[in-house]
Amino acid sequence: MKVLRRLFGYVRPYWKWLVLASVFLLASIGLSLVPPLLQRDIFDQVIEAGDLSRLGGLIGALIGVYALLQLVEVGEMYLRHTLGQRFIYDLRVRLYDYLQQLSLSFFERTSTGELMSRVTNDVDALENFVTHGVVLSVVALLRLLGASIVLLVLDWRLALVVLIPLPVIAVSLRKFNRRARPIYRRARDRLGEINARLQDSLAGIRVIQAFGQETAELGRFRAISEEYHRERVRAIRAWSTFFPALHFVAAVSGAFVLGLGAWMVVEGSLTVGTLVAFLAYTLSFYGPLRRLTEIDNVFQQAIAAGERVFELLDETPHIRDAEGAIELKEIDGEVVFEDVRFRYVDGEEVLHGVTFHMAPGEVVALVGPSGAGKTSIASLLCRFYDPVEGRVLVDGHDLREVQVKSLREHVAVVLQDTFLFNTTVRDNLLYGAPDVGEEEMIAAAKAAFAHDFLMELPDGYDTEIGERGVKLSGGQKQRLALARAILADPAILILDEATSSVDAEAEYLIQQALDEVMKGRTSLVIAHRLSTIRSADKIVALEHGRIREVGDHEELLSSGGLYSQLYRRQLELAAADAP
């Protein structure tokens, strides 16, 4: 019930739509109660009395009521389904907006396919809750109430026969809900797993085909799909046996009403017209009752989907603006790490008391073996995470006291694993600076040594580059990402091994671009190829999350420490690989 209350709370903002739909609903309910009374009059005042003078008027009134009822139902259906679509649109956008505010740690422990399933499949399942659950349950209840009142007025004895099955139906429905709810939840979880597996397989299709694992992947997908199939069949078995049983109970009750009513007509205590009207209202009573039991099925599915949606909305972002957080408008780019300790969620500490200083406009390189903590430092500077202890400061401001959005407006990142969107070159370039002009865009591309190869593409800057830039080479993607960073015009530039995955020629071009781009900017360079950071103002050598030494290239090379060892090892490997 808690989930249902929350779902109703999300529907509440659309109260104007609900009020208007309710007007149509009330009109529909009122009009639907009229035809049986007109049918009674036709039987009693025309057929039984043998008087045809009123037949035309009664038939005309009956047709008029049906026509008006049809028009009202058109309006009601339009309003109901439009409301449902608006609700789903707003909820899906709200969910997407909230997902973007969650911390990276959440996405590291949750699969993309699972999130896609919740934003698409689970939200879609809630549409039935709005279009068929909320509104139609109100309709069914009002029609049930109206039919009950009319039945009692027509003949209270027959009305008691109609009402007898209600306790049986209520108890049975309660038992069904307890049985069905976990089945629907498991089915939705399995559907999420299917989406997660599908997304993972499609993203890794090259690896699957390269290793010839198509059959194995098919087996894994079939196994997950089989689990979903079993849960769906369990749900189908539950409602396909339950609801017909309830309908049988209602049908038996209707048969008793007909038998008792026929006996009363023969005895003379009930007119034929009243019996006909009573039977019509009995249908009006059991019709909404059957609808309510079917709507309950919609509610159970909505509860299962709502639980999964609300689990996302209940996630608390670990990185968010503190109360009274300041906005960074213009910055010089001074960066200080002050005794920083850091661990990932439920992980071991990866940074142990890291302290270093970056002056405005200074180029600082981070070097060290894999797992030394280089990327963690860059992530802290972007405030993707917060330190467990210590502080990260920009221009003297603790990042925890700064508005996250304003910080990231001054920081640009070029990653080793370049991510490009499945759209045009132009859209990717302008992603961080959508308002810059054509000349600035081209100038940035030239600065990144990207303009020449971009002009050779089929549509130049308007070429679609495919998912993750699949139509470009590694070096081309890296230069495009660098041009994107240039256009963002950041005060602080982070380069996370930007040349490690490209060939020597591409590295040469990228390095030339980097030297130009880093001028006047505070730059944090995570270096894999140490030959690329010899001109850095400061080199910080890390090992096992601790700073081992700090200095420039010549100082560290002559000291014979960690940096010197790493540098000489790379030279030896390069010499061994040379022809």
413-489 adopts what CATH topology? Rossmann fold (3.40.50)
> Top-level CATH class of 326-371+386-410+518-579?
alpha beta
Pair 495, 414: CB distance under 8 Å: yes
| Per-residue pLDDT, 326 | 92
Q: Indicate the residue type of 344.
A: Y
Q: Which two tokens stand for residue 504?
A: 């020597």
Q: Where are the domains of the chain?
A: 2-313, 326-371+386-410+518-579, 413-489
| Per-residue pLDDT, 356 | 93
Low-confidence residues in the chain, pLDDT < 50: none
Nearest C-alpha neighbor of 131 from the set 298, 309, 305: 298
Residue 395 three-state SS: coil
| Per-residue pLDDT, 578 | 52
Pair 29, 139: CB distance under 8 Å: yes
Close Cβ partners of 4 (under 8 Å, ≥ 6 residues apart): 299, 302, 303, 306
Tokens 């005042």 appear where?
45
Domain 413-489 in the same topology as domain 326-371+386-410+518-579: yes
Nearest C-alpha neighbor of 65 from the set 33, 38, 31: 31
Nearest C-alpha neighbor of 478 from the set 408, 419, 410, 409: 419
| Per-residue pLDDT, 1 | 61
The beta strands (E) that lie in 286-439 are given as 335-343, 349-358, 363-367, 389-394, 397-398, 411-414
Torsion sign, CA atoms 373, 378, 380, 385: negative
pLDDT digits (tens, 9 = 90+) for 67-125: 888 888 888 778 877 887 888 888 888 888 888 888 877 877 777 777 888 888 788 87
| Per-residue pLDDT, 210 | 66
Close Cβ partners of 286 (under 8 Å, ≥ 6 residues apart): 162, 250, 253, 254
Does domain 2-313 sit in CATH 3.40.50.1980?
A: no
Nearest C-alpha neighbor of 147 from the set 282, 34, 273: 282
**C-beta pairs of 469-475 under 8 Å, 24+ apart in sequence:** 469/418, 469/420, 469/428, 472/420, 473/506, 474/418, 474/501, 474/502, 474/503, 474/506, 475/502, 475/503, 475/505, 475/506, 475/507, 475/509, 475/510
Q: For residue 331, how many other CB atoms are within 10 A of its CB?
A: 22
Pair 24, 77: CB distance under 8 Å: no
Question: What pTM was computed for the model?
Answer: 0.70
| Per-residue pLDDT, 572 | 67
